Amino acid sequence: MDYNQDLKKAYKTSSMLYVAFMLSLVIYLVVFEVLKARIPDFQGIMEKIDFLWLRYAFYALGLVQIFLIKFIRETATKSIKTVEARILINHLQRMSMISAILCEVPVILGLVLFFLSGNVQDFYVLLILSFVFFVMYFPRFSNWEEWIKSKTSH
């Protein structure tokens, strides 16, 4: 059962996907900086009094992603029963894609917070949080290889 080539190909695809998602953070930053420069005194569309609870909720949602990604990965990984390498490799790719999507959630929340409040710090904090999540959950070939071996050796 020689699945190593398929695993390497899937890993390369997933890694490129992650890099593309990480580059999207740069696009968000550029769009944000252009908007900020075009409208330097932007105060947001919400009154500051109404905003505080929403700010805390968005930060909490951003932070929850770390637990959500871990929970989804662990649950999906434990529930898979097959020993067929092709299916396991597809599963790893799917989990990688879901993780990448969830890593991007904080930066989107930060952009929304900026539009609502005009507070630039919210965007920067949540942008950094997204970047940290991308680094934490970037696919690692050794982990993939070890997991596939553990599933196919039974």
Residues 6 or more apart in contact with residue 139 via CB below 8 angstroms: 11, 14, 15, 18, 92, 96
The backbone torsions φ and ψ at residue 104, rounded to the nearest 5 degrees and listed phi first, read -85, -15
pLDDT of 22 reads: 95
Hey, what long-range contacts does 139-143 have (CB within 8 A, 24 or more apart)?
A: 139/11, 139/14, 139/15, 139/18, 139/92, 139/96, 141/7, 141/8, 141/11
Measured between alpha carbons, how far is 148 from 4 in angstroms, rounded to an integer? Answer: 10
Measured between alpha carbons, how far is 127 from 31 in angstroms, rounded to an integer? Answer: 13
pLDDT (tens digit, 0 to 9) for every residue of the chain, 154 residues total?
478 899 999 999 999 999 999 999 999 999 999 988 998 888 877 766 667 788 899 999 999 999 999 999 989 888 888 778 888 999 999 999 999 999 999 999 999 998 888 889 999 999 999 999 999 999 999 999 998 888 887 5
